[in-house]
Each structure stands twice: as C-alpha cells, then as structure tokens.
Amino acid sequence: MDAPFLGVIFIQWARGPKDRLASLRLTGGGMAMVRENDIVNGLRVVRIEREGLVLSWKGQQYREVVERF
C-alpha cells in the first residue's frame, strides 16, 4: 500500500469513542494527537482500538498496531 508512513506511539483507550486518543509519528518525524474520524496526512482514523488503529487510505482500510519498545 502506498499510504504515508504513520507509527502509533501510544493509545489512550476508553469505552466511549469520543474519549479515545492516539499519539502518532508521521513521515518526516512530526507527531500528531488524533481521535476517531480525524484526518492526518490524508489518512482517516476510522477506529482507535486497544492494540492499534484502523485507518482508511484511498477507500481501503488497514490496521496499524502500537509499536512495542
């Protein structure tokens, strides 16, 4: 897939979708904090899960997992 690079740094998961938050590492070293339905670098955050994100790029969905250190 030709989607922009996006690494999940951490997730603040909650039962209510509006309370979920994720910290992301972007192409070029930038960072972003996102919630469900936010768009960053052209990627839409479909859902924030405990283990990662479901993202949409050009109509296709895929999962990006939390990086383990």
pLDDT given at position 60 = 96
Q: Which residues of the chain have pLDDT under 70?
A: 1, 69
CATH number of 6-65: 2.30.30
Give the CA angle between residues 48, 54, 51 to the nearest 5°: 55
Say which residues have a Cβ less than 8 Å from residue 39's Cβ, sequence separation at least 6.
45
C-alpha–C-alpha distance, residues 43 and 45, integer Å = 7
Domain ranges of the chain: 6-65
pLDDT given at position 66 = 87
Count other C-beta atoms under 10 Å from residue 53's C-beta.
Answer: 23
Count other C-beta atoms under 10 Å from residue 62's C-beta.
Answer: 13
pLDDT given at position 42 = 93
